[in-house]
Each structure stands twice: as C-alpha cells, then as structure tokens.
Amino acid sequence: MKGQKQIIFSRVYIVYGMVCLFAMAIIFQTFKIQSPLFEGDKWRAKEESLTRNFREIEAVRGNIYAADESLLATSIPKYEVRFDANTDALTDTYFNENVDSLAYQLSKLFPEKSQSQYLTELKMARAKGKRYHLIRRNVKFTELKILKDFSIFRKGKFKGGFIAVQQNKRVRPFKVLAARTIGYEREGSKPVGLEGAYSKELSGVKGEMWMQKIAGGVWMPIGENSGREPEDGSDIYTTIDVNIQDVAQHALENQLMEHQADHGCVVLMEVSTGDIKAIANLKRNKDGSYYESYNYAVGESTEPGSTFKLASLMAAFEDEYLDLDDMVDTENGTTKFYDLVMRDSHIGGYGKISIKEAFIVSSNVGISKAINRVYASKPQEFVDRLYKMDLNKKLGIEIAGEGAPLIKSTDNDSWSGVSIPWMSIGYESQLTPLQILTFYNAVANNGKMVKPRFITEIRQSGKLIKEFEVEVINNSICSKNTIKMVKEMLEGVVEEGTARNLKNSMYKIAGKTGTAQIANDKYGYKYKSKVSHQASFVGYFPADNPKYTCIVVVNAPSKNVYYGNLVAGPIFKEVADKVYASSIQIHDELDKKEHLAASRIPYAKDGYYNDLLKVYSELNIKTSQEGVNPKWAKVATGENEVKIYKKKIAPIYVPDVTGMSIKDALYILENQGMNVRFTGNGVVKTQSILPGEKIIKGEKIILELV
C-alpha cells in the first residue's frame, strides 16, 4: 500500500514538474518575444507590417476632350464618409452633448434615415468602439462641404472622427457617342480605345497613405500628413467633333434599324491631316436596339468587295498596262475563270465598255477580265504593286485591336488560278474599314497617305506636354497621272454610275460603292442562305477640292436590300451634308461685288426715329425730314440722302407696321393690346389686319416677314 502511494506521488511530482517547466518556457518565450533585448523589436515590426502599412492612393485620372474641348470622358470624385467613434480626442462629454445635433443634421442632408435611426447608430458605434463606422457612400463634393460643418465632424479627423475617402468615378458626358473609341480601362480586362492606349498619361502617379488594418479587413487612414500625395493624370485632346459624331451615330443607327442589319460603322477623316472627326460602331442587341460593343472600323478585317476595284485598277494604271479608254467585253454579264463563274449584278451585262465605264457601273466581269488579262502570266507583279501602295501593312494606330490586312502573295498555300480575278474585285483579301478609308484618303490627298490621327495634344494642368504631328505613311502611293485618272473614275461613280442617288447641286462627291458577299465561317460560300452581305460606300468631298473622306460599312442587312448605294450611301450623304453645312472653309468664296444696291447708302427699315437718326449720324449719311420730329419714322433711301417721314401711330387704330423690323412691330402692337403672331424673317411685308381699323384688345394679328 505504502509503495503504491509513493509511486502515485512520484508520478504527480513528475507531471507537476513538467507543467512548471512548460509554464516557465511560455514565460521565457513571452519575455523573449516582447523584450527589446531579444526578438521584441522584430515581432513588433512584423505585427505593424501586417496591420499598418503604406497603401496606394489612386490619382485623379486625366480628362479626354473633343476637338472643341467638350468633355468626352472625365473623373467625378465621389466620397465615402466614415466616423471614427473611438478617436482619442473625442471625450464622452463632448460626444453626448453634440450627438443629437449631428443625428438631426444627417437626417436633413440624407433623409432616407430618420434622426432617431442616425442617433442609435452613432451611439452604438461609440459604445462598440468602432474606428471606421460607415456614414454614407457616394457622397458628392457639395454634400461633403456641408458635412464638414456638422456637429462633432467640424473638429476634423483626429478630434471629431470625421473620415472622408475619395473615390473617382469615370463618366462619359456624351454617353454612347464614340464609346468604343474613347474606350475604358478595367482591372481584369484588356484596355480598350484611347483610355487604354494612353492609360499611362491619363493615370498620373499614385500616392500613398499610412493606414491601419482593422476588423473586417478594412484599411483605415491613420496619422496626420503622412504619406505622399498622388499626382493627377494628364489630359488628352482628341480630333473628334462631337456635333459630327452625333450626326454620324444617329444616321448609322437609323439606317441599321431600317434594314435590320447586324452591325455597321462610319468614319469621317480630314484629308490633309488624317484627323478622325467622327467614328461610330453599332451592333444589334437581342432586343433590336443598337450599342457600341466593338470597334468594327478598327478591328474587323473582311473582304472589302467592290471598293477594292480602285486599288486593282491603280496597279494596272501605274504599271502602264491599262488606260481609261481601253475596252473590255462584259459579255452577257457572266464569264468563266476555269470552273468558276464570275457574275455582274446587272443581268445581261453591259456589252463592250471602257475601263472607266466598267468601274463606274462596277462591272465584276469587266474589271476581273481586264486585270486577269494583264497580270495572269505575272501575278506576283500585281501583288507587289499592291504592296508598294502599303495595302498589306497595318496602320499602326495607337488603339489596340487593329485587324491585320491580308493581301495574298503567290507563295500562299491558298493561291490558285482564280486568285487574280477574284482579288481584283475585292475577294480573297481582307482589310478593315479604317485601312480602306486611309487608302482612299491618300487618293483624295493626291497620293500622300497619312496615318489616322486620334490625338492632337497631351496637357498637364493646361501645360502642353506633347503635340502629335501629322504622320506620313507613304509620300506617294502612285504617280500624279494615276491619281488624275482614278479621281475621274470616282467622280463618275456619283455623277453617272452606281451612286447617282448621292449626287447633289451644292457640292460634288466622289467615291465607290461596294457590295460584298461574306462567307459563313462554317459553310463558306457553299449555301447561299448562309451567306450574308456587306454594303459599303467610301469617298471624299468636295470632289474638286477634297477636305474630308468618309467610309460607311453595313453588315448583314436583312430586308433583301444590300447594295452599297442604297444601304451605306444615305449615311454618307447625311454626314457629308452636315459637314458641308457647318464648315465655312469648304464653301466656294462668293464673287466680290463692289455694290449690290442701286445706292451707296445702306438700306434701312422703318423704325424708332432717334435710333435711325443716331445710326445715320454715325455713318455720316445725310438725312432730311418733313414735318416735326416724329417718334416713329418711315424712311426712303435716295442716291445721296435719306428722307425721313413721320409714321403715324394712333392708340385706338391698327398701325401700319410694314417695312419695320419685328422687334419694333411687336413693341408697338403689343403695347396696343394686340396678340401678335409672325412667320418668316426679315422685315414685315404684310399684316392680317389692315391699318386704320379700330383695335380690339386681345385680337390676333399675323405678320408675314421677308
């Protein structure tokens, strides 16, 4: 028995000893961790690095401006307002004395919560020692200024617990206008448009702030004036004209809706500079509406169809194989190349016509036969000439996603005996709308090919940082003689060819229609029901002195109307009309005539006597008057002087206001109690109630102005 007790006690002592040793180890380890003599500083630094650190602060992103300095994209500051309810300088006494007032003020500014709700929240935040209690998100700057004067908050961050964190929201004031070209930059997705291309310049330099990690993984700013302020991003100035952009986008949308097309694009370029004045891209949604979801003008590389016939003939002209007057037989509108049939859209063909006529009527048979005849035995020469015109190269624009052009070479695996005739009319090749437009722009620019320009300047706080000059891709894509010939053809297309519907009496348009079959990805051209169409028109205006080029491409119109002149042409015409109407520099100067009037004395309207006398006095024009000085005067302009007569205005009779400006006529008639309506502009020609009739108060009188 005694031996058993000793064994038990010895075991207890052993366990007790082990517990003591373990406790001493814990105490020693705690001392070691906390003591600056051992690892205290190391672990405190480790703890601080995990819970306190410098955090990045986003800089305010720069603005994107249109050519007239209208805002296309900007960052609007929004604020998240929080309350440090446990800040050291905020005493219980001060909090309790002012919290009711703060709750009342918050309920007035943000009425979605009542005073009692705010009061309960604030007291609970204080009781729980919350350091980062949310007051409200998405606070406007004007609201923030008001909040800073509220009770408790007015003492600031450290004495009143007021914390405001700025967050910048990117907005486009014109919403969908040029949305894809302006683009965006989002985390986790590829950069799009100008926002992506110039992200470095727009982003600025990030700042940093000393922050502490609190419950919930939230980082709260701490410390006063700690860290580094961010540097705002630079502003970029684009070439976009918002007025023309608006017209282009709506014209495109209306035409796409009318033809229930899948998608389309329109681009307007300034000839001499390559400035993109408007660019619109629209895709049909499931509900039938249209939106800018992809930049087709930049990224979609497709078979261009008949618009490529220009390049084919330019190659033959430049190599001196063809001339405008050379003849070609279009047969009955069909011809064969090996086992494949080439067809014209015009049933029955055009018979024997010139090369110029073949282009004007867009004869597939005529163009393909002419090009095949001169290049069939030397196909690489045709390809090389196209390469010399830079049709095989990307434009190198700054916007990401430019589609790659395809101009097949003879060493391509898909090259065959029918490649030349089919390439000549825009098949077995691929180009984007912007690449085609740049080529036509070079023709309008007398052979000089310039790179499309989207940006003219970058500025930082108004100071010029970088200026973008006009960039020349090719000083001369061909000879002046070739340019002269193709311009004649392009004008003929509108004057007497496939685009006669675009002809107008105000200014001349030159261009080319295009209608291409787009093969199905799976079935190719095998099944006609699977093949869609692409309608296009590309050209320049005014034709005799080109200022602008424009391309319109409409894909997959679904109402059996797919010709370029009918689907794409009206969009081109609407954009061109807007540009012509709003651009004074396009208009021809008026013939200067020394005198348009019979007299050297300017014509004047009847009106208020003192006003007329002052004007004639300032102009040193001799006047004479009959009778006493009148209040209202009638004038007669002679060759050497102006005669002034009294115009009788009786208070009870309808006066004679003919010959007067509408301003004076309204003043007289409305003071007499009459209800005046008028049409036209200029001076009063007729009045619906004859002078001398008795006035009836409130009676309507209609004035016609010319």
Query: For the purposes of burial, counting CB atoms within 10 Å of the CB of 562, is it exposed (0-12), middle (13-18) or buried (19 or more)?
Result: buried
Tell me what pLDDT residue 32 has.
Answer: 60
Average pLDDT over residues 363-378: 96
At 439, the pLDDT band (50, 70, 90 cuts) reads very high
Q: Residue 387: in which H helix or E strand, if any?
A: helix 379-388
Tell me what pLDDT residue 594 has.
Answer: 45
Tell me what pLDDT residue 184 has.
Answer: 86
Tell me what pLDDT residue 411 has.
Answer: 94
At 613, the pLDDT band (50, 70, 90 cuts) reads confident
At 109, the pLDDT band (50, 70, 90 cuts) reads very high
What is the model's pTM? 0.71
Tell me what pLDDT residue 677 has.
Answer: 84
**Closest by Cα among 54, 59, 56 to 205:** 59
**CA dist., res. 153 & res. 265, Å (int):** 53
Domains 245-585 and 607-705 are alike in CATH topology: no
CATH of 55-238, one of 3.90.110.10, 3.60.20.10, 1.20.1440.230, 3.90.1310.10: 3.90.1310.10
Beta strands, E only, 158-240: 162-171, 207-214, 218-221, 235-238
Average pLDDT over residues 381-393: 97
Helices 433-444 & 309-318, crossing angle to 10 degrees? 40
Indicate if the pLDDT at residue 593 is higher than 60: no
**CA dist., res. 610 & res. 9, Å (int):** 130
Find where tokens 């209202």 sit. Answer: 632
Q: Give me the percent of the chain exceeding a pLDDT of 90.
A: 51
Q: Which residue has the higher pLDDT, 161 or 646?
A: 161
**CA dist., res. 153 & res. 105, Å (int):** 11
Q: What is the pLDDT of residues 636-672, one digit of tens each?
A: 777 777 777 777 777 777 888 888 888 888 888 888 8
At 561, the pLDDT band (50, 70, 90 cuts) reads low
Question: Structurally, what CATH architecture does the domain formed by 607-705 represent?
Answer: 2-Layer Sandwich (3.30)
Q: What is the pLDDT of residues 184-207, one digit of tens each?
A: 887 777 888 999 999 999 988 776
Tell me what pLDDT residue 527 has.
Answer: 38
Tell me what pLDDT residue 227 has.
Answer: 62
**CA dist., res. 408 & res. 429, Å (int):** 7
Q: Give me the percent of the chain exceeding a pLDDT of 70.
A: 84
Q: What is the pLDDT of residues 119-156, one digit of tens each?
A: 999 999 999 888 889 999 889 888 999 999 999 999 98
Which range is most confident: 42-46, 130-134, 195-199, 631-635?
Answer: 195-199
Measured distance between the N- and C-terminal CA atoms of the chain, rounded to whole angstroms: 136
At 583, the pLDDT band (50, 70, 90 cuts) reads confident
Q: What is the pLDDT of residues 229-273, one digit of tens each?
A: 678 899 999 999 999 999 999 999 999 999 889 999 999 999 999
Segments making up each domain of the chain, as ranges:
55-238, 245-585, 607-705
Hey, what long-range contacts does 687-693 have (CB within 8 A, 24 or more apart)? 687/654, 687/656, 687/657, 687/658, 689/654, 690/654, 691/653, 691/654, 691/655, 691/656, 692/653, 692/654, 693/653, 693/654
Tell me what pLDDT residue 201 has.
Answer: 92
Tell me what pLDDT residue 547 has.
Answer: 96
Q: What is the pLDDT of residues 460-487, one digit of tens each?
A: 988 999 999 999 999 999 999 999 999 9
Question: Structurally, what CATH architecture does the domain formed by 245-585 represent?
Answer: 3-Layer(aba) Sandwich (3.40)
Q: Which residues pair with 85 in a beta bridge?
A: none
At 103, the pLDDT band (50, 70, 90 cuts) reads very high
Please give the full DSSP string across 448-473, using - where no structure is assigned.
Answer: -EE--B-EEEEEETTEEEEE----EE
- From residue 637, give the alpha-carbon distance in Å to each of 342, 377, 604, 622: 73, 80, 8, 10
Q: Which residues pair with 449 in a beta bridge?
A: 474
The gap from C-alpha 350 to its chain's centroid, in whole angstroms, comes to: 44
Please tell me the least confidently modeled range out of 52-61, 189-198, 241-250, 512-521. Answer: 52-61
Please tell me the least confidently modeled range out of 193-197, 210-214, 326-330, 691-695. Answer: 210-214
Tell me what pLDDT residue 275 has.
Answer: 97
Indicate if the pLDDT at residue 520 is higher than 80: no
- Report the SS3 class of residue 288: coil
Find where tokens 């309960």 sit. Answer: 120
Please tell me the least confidently modeled range out of 34-38, 191-195, 448-452. Answer: 34-38
Q: Which residue has the higher pLDDT, 304 or 228?
A: 304
Average pLDDT over residues 71-99: 89
Tell me what pLDDT residue 156 has.
Answer: 87
Please tell me the least confidently modeled range out of 29-33, 202-206, 465-469, 613-617. Answer: 29-33
Question: Mean pLDDT across the chain, nearest whole number?
Answer: 85
Q: Which residue has the higher pLDDT, 172 or 565?
A: 172
- From residue 119, give the alpha-carbon distance in Å to each of 82, 95, 102: 15, 11, 8
